Structure 1
Amino acid sequence: MDDELAESQRAHWQDTYSAHPGMYGEEPSAPAVHAAGVFRAAGARDVLELGAGHGRDALHFAREGFTVQALDFSSSGLQQLRDAARAQQVEQRVTTAVHDVRHPLPSADASVDAVFAHMLLCMALSTEEIHALVGEIHRVLRPGGVLVYTVRHTGDAHHGTGVAHGDDIFEHDGFAVHFFPRGLVDSLADGWTLDEVHAFEEGDLPRRLWRVTQTLPR
């Protein structure tokens, strides 16, 4: 069932990006704007973005002078990202790779300064898979590296409604979301410094999210 859900989500995102190019617009998300400042203050130079989609946030990081590696499991979204990077003349600072985060990250140990993931950790991933992914992020970050991620949480209006898949995963309009309890945020910060858990809202529902910042000890 988990593999079936993951594959259906991959196909759904691929079809959605193909049918709606640039669906989130050209402006970066508010979390990405915040993260760029956090990364700069930490002295980061290279950023790994997980779940980059069609690239509005990866392109923002590149325009801000960071080197960006953008991962997503939708080849359609990443093609749009590459096209936009060329149009904005930042293609030399952006690389892309099709990748399913249920598998080990393609980066070497201690090879990146910062990781950004806007609503990627709360996709159709089990709690076990989320812990494994954060373990992978820990592996690829250099000492003192920073992770900024956002997730929808159990205070969201969609939590507990729609098609239930277990493990706090609920599906609406074809999109499956893992809604985070606060305890999951805290457990993912084990071995890190948990710098901030910031509550905010986004979209028309509105979606209720946390923006989490955590740092590896040096």
Structure 2
Amino acid sequence: MSEGGRERLPETQREHWQQTYGEHPRMYGEEPSAPAVHAAAVFRAAGAHAVLELGAGHGRDALYFAREGFSVLATDFSPVGLEQLRAAGAAQQVAEQLTTAVHDVREPLPLADASVDAVFAHMLLCMALSTPEIRSLVAEVRRVLRPGGVFVYTVRHTADAHYRAGTGHGDDIWEHGGFAVHFFSRDLVDALAEGWNLEEVHAFEEGGLPRKLWRITQTVPVPVPA
């Protein structure tokens, strides 16, 4: 793909998601994803209270975290999706548990150092992000998590049927049906866990095809007293 095409990819993907959420409200349904249910249990066991969700979309998982009693900051680059999330939060009487922010994860996170207990991202890291952008994002997640904080994320990986299908954008990014995906290798997962405690890499399947994903759990090490 041309350099100009790669440079326009983030904006074309933003427009695509805006249109998708506008035309298909609640496109992922009302029920939380299986990874979110798992993450809530992990967060609770770690004593988490403040949760940041990256790429919250219309909010099925953010709403679940709020219903489970967590204080949630839900971010997404789609104002349309977040509008749907806020409306649902009011309807479900969890608005006080929810804060939303329009944010592009290519930019620094709008949070102070060590200010959240847990971070969740379902298929956000495998969007149309370059490897350097993914590394920068994980560094930002590390910055905003407290010591002992938990990061649970999911990504499609290179065993997925859509890997190397459709339009290639380089850097293991392939576009199929208008959606661009960065397919993860295990080497990339391990590289992103450097300096963390890598607790789990769990393989699972979701949706049609089916999509093949990993659910990764890693934690910020707690300093050992001298």
TM norm structure 2: 0.96
In structure 2, the residue matched to 1:50 is 54
The correspondence of residues 201-212 of structure 1 with structure 2, limited to 5 A, is 201-212=205-216
Moved beyond 4 Å, runs of 4+: none
Partner of 1:110: 114
CA–CA distance in structure 1, aligned partners of residues 66 and 111 of structure 2: 19
Aligned partner of 1:138 among 126, 142, 149: 142
Give how far 1:3 is off.
Answer: 3.2
Paired residue for 2:22? Answer: 18
Q: Distance in 1 between matches of 2:175 and 2:78?
A: 19
**In the alignment, is residue 72 of structure 1 matched against residue 76 of structure 2?**
yes
1:141-193 deviation line (CA, Å, top 9, x unaligned): 00000000000000000001100000000001110000000000000000000
Superimposed CA distance per residue, residues 30-75 of structure 1 (whole angstroms, 9 cap, x where no aligned partner): 0000000000000000100000000000000000000000000000
Q: Is 1:119 matched up with 2:123? A: yes
Question: What is the Cα deviation at residue 89 of structure 1?
Answer: 0.2
Cα distance in 1 for partners of 2:13, 2:7 equals 10
> In the aligned structure 2, how far is the partner of 1:196 from the partner of 1:101?
24
In the alignment, what sits opposite 2:65? 61
Distance 2:197 2:35 in 1: 19
Q: Cα deviation per residue 1:68-121 (whole Å; 9 max; x = unaligned)?
A: 000000000000000000000000000000000000000111000000000000
Indicate the SS of the match to 2:201. Answer: strand
Structure 1 gap ranges (5+): none
Partner of 1:186: 190
User: Whole-Å Cα distance in 1 between the matches of residues 112 and 216 of structure 2?
Assistant: 24
Give the residue type in structure 1 aligned to 2:162.
H
Question: In the alignment, residue 60 of structure 2 is paired with which amino acid?
Answer: R
Tell me which residue corresponds to 2:176: 172
User: In structure 2, how many angstroms separate the alpha carbons of the residues matched to 1:206 and 1:64?
Assistant: 29
Q: What does residue 200 of structure 2 align with? A: 196
C-alpha root-mean-square deviation of aligned residues, in Å? Answer: 0.5
Work out which of the two has the higher radius of gyration on C-alpha atoms and give 1 or 2.
2
C-alpha distance in structure 1 between counterparts of 2:56 and 2:169, whole Å: 25
Aligned to 2:101: 97
Please state whether the residue corresponding to 1:164 is helix, strand or coil.
strand
Matched to 1:70, the amino acid is A
Q: Which whole-Å CA distance do the structure 1 matches of 2:80 and 2:50 have between them? A: 24
Pairing 1:87–2:95 present = no
Structure 2: tracts of 5 or more residues without a match: none
SS of 1:131's equivalent?
helix
Give the structure 2 partner of residue 29 of structure 1. Answer: 33
